Structure 1
């Protein structure tokens, strides 16, 4: 992130909170890249004859692998080296927990908030934020733990 932003956030939040916020922002940028990969691979799979479900399974693996690699190289670059295959598998497994946060938030809001039931995009957005926050915390705490220090 630009040095001016880092200095400003450090002055406003303190060094530790600023570092965490910047890491979270990088995580969000990586997640956006993952979304683009997910979408592109899904549509490529559909064009090649994969169905909606098998194409989505392939696109999820491609997106999750992309986000793992980018997070390893950029977001959590300070993490201690870990065996790549183990770290990748742990990242995939923990992202399923993030999916549960995402879907759970969406489902709860659709069920209990009439405005969200009428405009489900609000639930999708809230779910995405909940899933991202969950995935960030799990990745930071368990997959790339040394980078959190």
Structure 2
């Protein structure tokens, strides 16, 4: 009796072993590049406000475009290596749109958590919690936005054609 090929032995809907490891590597790369993008964003914000003299809101838009461009280039180069190098301008624009949607998810998550405030029972145990609550909310917002941005980037921006 002939044995079944390995792929046929895999239950339906289960990705092959190598594919899940590849996606994990992409998520880690995307996250690390996102951290780098945060530093680029802060540096560009400083440049926009000080040497360029822009107001906080205009400087925020400027730094967003600089950081988003940085993360697009890095993700194109490292995270999604096999993607076509053609249509770079269109791909960059799609990346900006996808990441702005993730930015809305980030800010919404942050604002909801800050609005809910630290639970009273937790404050009774950890009296310093309210001072750290906004920073935790920032972290939760960043994670929510990153997850959303990864999925949109992988499917819509860097999808293999």
TM-score w.r.t. length of structure 2: 0.77
Q: Over residues 50-91 of structure 1, what are the superposed CA-to-partner deviations in whole Å (9 max), with x where a residue is unaligned? A: 111111111111000011011111110112344011000000
Return 5+ residue gaps in structure 1 as ranges: 1-12
CA distance in 1, matches of 2:57, 2:114: 24
1:120 aligned counterpart, secondary structure: helix
Specify the alignment match of 1:41 in structure 2. Answer: 44
Aligned equivalent of 1:140, options 154, 157, 161: 154
Structural mapping, 1:48-59, within 5 Å? 48=51, 49-59=53-63
Q: Over residues 102-140 of structure 1, what are the superposed CA-to-partner deviations in whole Å (9 max), with x where a residue is unaligned? A: 112112222335349931111111010000000000000
Kindly report the root-mean-square deviation, in angstroms, between the aligned alpha carbons of the 2 structures: 2.0
TM-score w.r.t. length of structure 1: 0.83
What is the aligned residue count?
135
CA distance in 2, matches of 1:14, 1:29: 23
Structural mapping, 1:105-144, within 5 Å? 105-115=109-119, 118=130, 119-144=133-158
* Structure number, greater radius of gyration: 2
